[in-house]
């Protein structure tokens, strides 16, 4: 809940410490932010959501798909890596682009004493994340911009299929902290990508992100390759497509029509790398 994470936050306007007073968060300079009825606080500068905020339908598709257990091996691998990081360093767990909060909740389940900060720019996602675990505080912000998080407060930052901002991750991590990154490989969902001509993260974009990351972080030994096949029925396939980047240019009706034309069940490969990174030039965990 927000009481747990308020001491980890800072004002998005002036960087001042934030304190929670009933249903408002305030900094000493008088900037204030209302706590939403659903238990999250929006610290986006201004009150508009950004254009990349997940729409409600996208968040619901993601939550249905994840609660069906289809990504359980990926969730487990992220939570295991997150928990390893937390045993080595003090501080909280931050999930950048937390969505409905499943990965962060699974990480906190493994370490009973830590709190988790779910960051997302979608109010729909934040509503879900605020309820995903009793020790999660959900905060609205843009993961690409300056984070409304104090320096050195995180033992682990999770970045699961999400944008990342290496300079800000470095700033919020305590020196023994770790970054855990889950990235789809080129084989991820390849059968669906081929049949339906879906958009994927292109290799050059992936390489640019990696290069940016490696300037500040070094890979640690543990890296999990999670790869398995799922046999999915049309409703699950539709959710799988609707929770990803394709949802921005395909509506639900088009997605459902497309998956009806596929074999039932349709077999897709899930292929994700879960890698841990430590900060360069600082003591290794």
**Whose Cβ is closer to Zn ion: residue 27's or residue 173's?**
27
Q: Which is nearer to Zn ion, 13 or 206 (CB)?
A: 13
Per rule CB under 5 A, is residue 16 in the interface with Zn ion?
Answer: yes
Q: Does 110 bind Zn ion (CB under 5 A)?
A: no
Q: Are 16 and 6 in contact (CB under 8 A)?
A: no
Kindly state whether residue 9 participates in binding Zn ion, applying the rule CB under 5 A. Answer: no
Instruction: Provide, rounded to whole angstroms, the least separation between the CB of residue 29 and Zn ion.
Output: 4
- Binding of Zn ion by 11 (CB under 5 A): yes
Reply yes or no: is the peptide bond before residue 265 cis, omega within 30 of 0.
yes
Window contacting Zn ion (CB under 5 A); options: 27-35, 195-203, 232-240, 254-262: 27-35
Which range, of 28-36, 160-168, 170-178, 246-254, touches Zn ion by CB under 5 A? Answer: 28-36
Report residue 83 as tokens: 């928990």
Rg (CA), the chain: 19
CA distances from 68 to 61, 132, 133, 249 (A): 11, 15, 18, 25
Residue keyed to tokens 């080595």: 88
Rounded Cα–Cα distance for residues 42 and 61 (Å): 23
Can you name the residues that pair with 63 across neighbouring β-strands? none
Of the pair 30, 90, the CB lying nearest Zn ion is at 30
Q: Considering only residues 29-58, where is the footprint of Zn ion by CB under 5 A? A: 29, 31
Looking at 1, 7, 13, 269, which residue binds Zn ion (CB under 5 A)? 13
Identity of the residue, 27 or 274, whose beta carbon is nearer to Zn ion in the bound complex: 27
Give the integer Cα–Cα distance in Å for 105 and 74.
Answer: 13
State the number of binding residues for Zn ion (CB under 5 A). 7
| 192 contacts 241 by C-beta, under 8 angstroms | yes
Region from 4-12, 68-76, 93-101, 166-174 binding Zn ion, contact rule CB under 5 A: 4-12
d(CA 67, CA 54): 18
φ/ψ of 125, rounded to 5, equals -65, -40
- Which residues in the 190-219 window bind Zn ion by CB under 5 A? none
Distance CA(253)–CA(160), nearest Å, equals 27
Joined tokens for residue 139: 């905060």
Minimum distance between the CB of residue 47 and Zn ion, rounded to whole angstroms? 15
Q: Choose one: 9-17, 63-71, 99-107, 181-189; the region binding Zn ion (CB under 5 A).
A: 9-17
- Binding interface with Zn ion (CB under 5 A): 11, 13-14, 16, 27, 29, 31
């Amino acid at each position: 809940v927000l009481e747990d994470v308020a001491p980890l936050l800072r004002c998005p306007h002036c960087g001042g410490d934030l304190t929670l007073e009933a249903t408002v968060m305030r900094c000493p300079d008088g900037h204030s932010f209302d706590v939403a009825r659903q238990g999250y606080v929006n610290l986006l500068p201004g009150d508009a959501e950004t254009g990349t905020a997940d729409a409600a339908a996208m968040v619901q598709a993601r939550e249905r798909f994840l609660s069906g257990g289809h990504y359980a091996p990926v969730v487990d691998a992220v939570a295991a890596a997150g928990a390893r990081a937390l045993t080595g360093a003090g501080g909280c767990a931050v999930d950048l682009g937390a969505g409905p909060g499943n990965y962060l909740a699974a990480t906190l389940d493994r370490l009973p004493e830590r709190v988790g900060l779910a960051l997302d720019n979608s109010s729909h996602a934040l509503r879900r994340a605020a309820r995903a675990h009793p020790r999660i505080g959900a905060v609205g912000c843009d993961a690409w911009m300056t984070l409304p998080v104090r320096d050195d407060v995180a033992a682990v930052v999770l970045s699961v299929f999400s944008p990342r901002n290496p300079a800000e991750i470095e700033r919020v991590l305590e020196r023994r902290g770790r970054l855990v990154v889950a990235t789809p490989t080129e084989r991820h969902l390849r059968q669906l990508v081929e049949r339906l001509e879906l958009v994927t993260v292109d290799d050059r974009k992936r390489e640019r992100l990696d290069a940016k990351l490696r300037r500040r972080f070094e890979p640690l030994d543990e890296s999990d390759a999670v790869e398995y096949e799922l046999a999915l029925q049309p409703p699950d396939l539709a959710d799988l497509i609707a929770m990803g980047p394709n949802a921005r240019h395909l509506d639900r009706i088009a997605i459902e029509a497309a998956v009806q034309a596929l074999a039932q069940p349709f077999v897709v490969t899930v292929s994700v790398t879960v890698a841990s990174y430590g900060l360069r030039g600082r003591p290794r965990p």
